[in-house]
Amino acid sequence: MQYTRGKYLLMVDADGATRFSDLDPLLEKLEKAEKNGLGVAVGSRAHLVKTDAVVKRSFIRNFLMYSFHKVVYVLGIRGIDDTQCGFKLFTRTAAQAIFPNMHVEGWVFDIEALMIAQRLGIPIVEVPVAWQEIDGSKVSLMRDSIQMAIDLLIIRCNYIFGIWTIQPLKKKDS
């Protein structure tokens, strides 16, 4: 993300669970929300919560999903219902402000990206996207859920105690 050239930068999961046809609505909403060249559009599956895509999942998977959302909320990400959808669109300027500030890798890196965006006052919009469950996921429900919770605590504690800081946006010369 730090070495790209485009005006808009799209991040997607490799499994193809979201469709590239959903890029147009993300771009449209991002352009409307953009301020001073800054903005992030987050693809969201939140509208699917009451559909078969989620209802027919196992109890443990749904329990972990809801628990994770609560932990994310408690640790500071507010106003975004689906932080984990891999379909995200950034303005180049937003990506240049966010990604150099990041510290974590792994499943929760996008939560840190969104947290940094919020702290920098970068507009974030959430856009419903089509999504389908893809067999062969690399996620281990229990192991990765525990690791994600630990990583969330690490993120929060490091920012609270000032171990990690966020460099402010650089002002453009007029």
The pLDDT tens digits of the residues spanning 3-17 come to: 888 999 999 887 777
Strands (E), the chain: 8-11, 40-44, 88-91, 124-128
Residue 168 lies in a domain: no
> Residue 139: CB partners within 8 Å, gap ≥ 6?
107
Residue 88 lies in a domain: yes
Say how many domains are in the chain: 1
Rounded distance between C-alpha atoms, residue 51 and residue 54, angstroms: 6
pLDDT at position 56, please?
A: 57
> Which range of residues forms the domain containing residue 80?
8-160
Read off the pTM.
0.85
Residue 146 lies in a domain: yes
Q: Worst-scoring range by mean pLDDT, 10-14, 158-162, 168-172?
A: 168-172
Closest residue by Cα to residue 60 from 135, 146, 141: 141
pLDDT at position 1, please?
A: 87
The pLDDT tens digits of the residues spanning 20-63 come to: 888 999 999 999 999 999 999 999 876 655 555 554 566 777 67
pLDDT band at 149 (very low <50, low <70, confident <90, very high): confident
The pLDDT tens digits of the residues spanning 55-108 come to: 456 677 767 777 887 888 887 788 888 888 888 999 999 999 999 999 998 888
Residue 170 lies in a domain: no
